[in-house]
Amino acid sequence: MNKKGAKVITISSLKGGVGKTTFTLWLAGIYSKMQKRVLIMDMDMYTGAVALSLNVKTKKDYFSLHDALLRNNVNKIESYVTNYSTNIDILASPNDPRVSSKVSSSYVGTVIERLRDLYDVILIDTNHILDDINVVLLDYSDEVLYLVTPDYVCLRNMRSIIHLYKDMRKDNYLIILNRIFDYKKVCFSELDIKVMLKDNIDFILPKSLYERRIDSYFLNGSLMTLDDRFYRQHKKDIKKLERLANFIINK
């Protein structure tokens, strides 16, 4: 569903623990450096980690927005987002996971459409479960980035998603292969993966992007792609990420 306003980019996966949130934050930093107004929507209702990773305290979250919409009591939707930096805002997932089950997909499209005019880029971090919320998110996304790891379970699930997209005659997705971690499982080569998926790998996150002090960034609430030291250390790889970010927003 491609409309005027912000480019809506959903970052998804086919299993947990593949580095999806970190990748989302990297993109946010890159778009911020491009002077884009960025909103990060954390739509992982139960285990969302965007605000936590940026060490941001939120008074309002997606549940409070959902509750206000139910009561028809939302005047300024921007009052439900939390500012992180000059160009980056956050719409956090529910602070209390006990209320997450009360959030339905009813207002997902409404929220996205009302926020489009306020930003240049909306990055949506979601979970790996194809529930009703994620189905609506995919429908409202201009582009979907699937982060996959080189293991059999993840690749088999990705193959199923590819079949689904082909049946729907949609091609607004990219496959991002995460090779940053040295998986102890049997890893497949890029050629193996292409044969298995019957599709191309659009981008590879190489092992050279590994950052052993990643926890220190989270504890300090620092965005890695805005950090000078991280940029200098991984300049070549970040330049490739910047080209990917440009390609997505201009696609």
Q: What is the pLDDT of residues 184-208, one digit of tens each?
A: 555 788 899 999 999 999 999 999 9
Is 7-250 assigned to CATH 3.40.50.300?
yes
Round to whole Å and give the CA distance between 141 and 129. Answer: 16
Non-local (6+) Cβ contacts of 71 within 8 A are none
Q: CA dihedral in degrees (22, 26, 29, 35; nearest 10)? A: -140
Round to whole Å and give the CA distance between 170 and 21. Answer: 25
What pTM was computed for the model? 0.95
Round to whole Å and give the CA distance between 121 and 248. Answer: 10
Q: For position 181, what pLDDT does the model report?
A: 77
Q: For position 2, what pLDDT does the model report?
A: 47
Mean pLDDT of the residues in the chain: 93
Q: For position 115, what pLDDT does the model report?
A: 97
Convert the pLDDT of each residue in 20-34 to its tens digit.
999 999 999 999 999
DSSP secondary structure letter of residue 96:
S
Q: How confident is the model at residue 232 (pLDDT cuts 50, 70, 90)?
A: very high
Tell me the CA distances in angstroms from 2 to 61, 97, 102, one per residue in order.
Answer: 26, 32, 29
* Residue entry with tokens 């990643």: 214
Q: For position 188, what pLDDT does the model report?
A: 85
Inter-residue contact 16 to 147 (CB < 8 Å): no
Convert the pLDDT of each residue in 88-120 to its tens digit.
999 999 989 899 999 999 999 999 999 999 999
Give rounded-to-5 percent helix, strand, coil for the chain: 45, 15, 40
Round to whole Å and give the CA distance between 203 and 140. Answer: 23
Domain ranges of the chain: 7-250
Q: For position 1, what pLDDT does the model report?
A: 45
Round to whole Å and give the CA distance between 179 and 205. Answer: 6
